[in-house]
Amino acid sequence: MKILLLCNKPPYPASEGGPMAMNSIVTGLLEAGHQVKIMAINSEKFNVKESDIPDDYKHKTGIELIDIDLRVRSLKAFINLFTKKSYHVERFISDDFKERLAEVLAKGQFDVVQLEMLYMAPYVETIREHSKAMIVLRAHNVEHKIWERIAKETKFFLKRWYINHLAKTLKEYELNALETVDGIAAITRKDAAFFRKYCSKPIVDIPYGVYPEEFTPKYEIEGKPKFYHIGSMNWMPNEEGIRWFIEEVMPKTVEKAPDFVYHLAGRNMPEWLTNLNDPHIDVIGEVPDAKAFVANHDVAIVPLLSGSGIRIKIIESMAMGKTVITTRVGAEGILYDEEVNLIIAENKAKMVEAIRAINENPQTAVEIGKAARKLVEETYDNRKIIARLLMFYEQIKPSSKITFM
């Protein structure tokens, strides 16, 4: 098949959640023998130089980066209050992208155009005009639910009111967009079930996949466990969760485990975090090798209060044989057995107790880490996931539209 992926950010380098999810699809489809072409938005928030992309990757994917300014403009955001349009989505609409997309579609016939995330849905009309390809929306999240949860946790009235407005307009756009595509590949079963309530189109759940052999598990814990978090901090739910953990959970945790240290790695650490002077918080920032960082630590704490979709860094920590302590929101989309391959700590008290228990009995983390690795091997192997995606393409194709290589 020939598949065109439209991405809201470059899938290379795969250094944070969205690009990692996109790149797993790219590598899986290529490995399965299909042709892949990538068109990606390149913004100031996630900016990639074409010269930094390996020649082999460029050759295999024909990746093109189209610059779009996604910065929030106060005047445009204010004017948007008086419309029913989603300001989140409007920022991703570009005449340059439309024109280049039309040119690409005119030059080559594609079997599938896959929209990586809702924010590429504004280009459906251009695709329909210039191609007969099936259009699949790869829904990484139920986008409006992220903002509904953030609004719920926001204390300042005016800010909460504005975020609720953003969530409302985004929800309306999201639900309408579902009917404009030919099929929806949600990243979790829960998200797929939500979409089925509002959409008549075929829907499947296609989770994030890894190649287990690329992750060498390390189960042994030397001395006291090292607790960590790795994730990009320019994703609002990550920053929100870390702030809650530091302000609400840390004081009681340190009372129960005076030797506790929380090691934080990831891109775009905010100033309030880097300026902390706390012996129990080790702010490392971006690391050159995420796998090496995880291998040198023992227990992941992922204190998410909002968000949707699947937490890729949790899957990768589990692939490395690590115990993960997270909330039910953080565990959404993962087919876990509680206390067997994942620890759920739904509130402050449970999280403090989970940390204390593992700190005092590290062998518990070893056993949970082994079960976590087994789950990844059985459920999140990318080869199995790509096979499921290809079956979905077959399910939704009109007769004789797709030509296999």
pLDDT tens digits for range 293-309: 999 999 999 999 886 66
Query: Could you tell me if 185 and 206 are in contact, meaning their C-beta atoms sit under 8 angstroms apart?
Result: yes
Q: What's the Cα-to-Cα distance from 217 to each of 288, 294, 296, rounded to whole Å?
A: 19, 10, 11
Residue 4 is encoded by which pair of tokens?
């065109």
pLDDT tens digits for range 125-142: 999 999 999 999 999 999
CATH, residue 355: 3.40.50.2000
Q: Considering only CA atoms, give the Rg of the chain.
A: 21
Residue 228 is encoded by which pair of tokens?
């960590």
Q: Does 363 lie in the same domain as 259?
A: yes
**Residue 386 counted as domain residue:** yes
**Residue 402 counted as domain residue:** no
Omega before 13 cis (within 30°)? yes
Q: Does 220 lie in the same domain as 203?
A: no
Q: Does 59 lie in the same domain as 142?
A: yes
Q: Does 168 lie in the same domain as 63?
A: yes
Report helix, strand or coil for 246: helix
Q: Does 195 lie in the same domain as 296?
A: no
Q: Does 42 lie in the same domain as 57?
A: yes
Report helix, strand or coil for 63: coil
- φ and ψ of 230, to 5 deg: -130, 130
Give one DSSP letter per residue of 165-179, joined into a string. HHHHHHHHHHHHHHT
> What element of type H or E holds 382?
helix 382-396
Mean pLDDT, rounded, for 87-108: 96
**Residue 390 counted as domain residue:** yes
Output the CA angle 137-143-145, nearest 5 degrees: 140
pLDDT tens digits for range 12-26: 998 788 899 999 999
Mean pLDDT, rounded, for 79-83: 86
pLDDT at 405 over 50: no
Mean pLDDT, rounded, for 51-58: 95
Query: Could you tell me if 246 and 280 are in contact, meaning their C-beta atoms sit under 8 angstroms apart?
Result: no
Q: What is the DSSP letter of 209?
A: -
Measured between alpha carbons, how far is 225 from 142 in angstroms, rounded to an integer?
Answer: 35
Q: Does 353 lie in the same domain as 375?
A: yes
**Residue 101 counted as domain residue:** yes
The upper half-sphere exposure of residue 225, i.e. CA atoms within 13 Å in the direction of its Cβ, equals 29
**Residue 261 counted as domain residue:** yes
What's the domain range around 108? 2-208+381-396
The whole-model pTM stands at 0.82
Q: What is the mean pLDDT of the chain?
A: 93
Give the residue carrying structure tokens 């204190």.
303
Q: Does 101 lie in the same domain as 121?
A: yes
For residue 399, the model assigns a pLDDT of 62
Looking at the structure of the chain, the number of domains it has is 2
Other C-beta atoms lying within 10 Å of the C-beta of residue 115: 27
**Residue 404 counted as domain residue:** no
Residue 400 confidence class, pLDDT cut points 50, 70, 90: very low
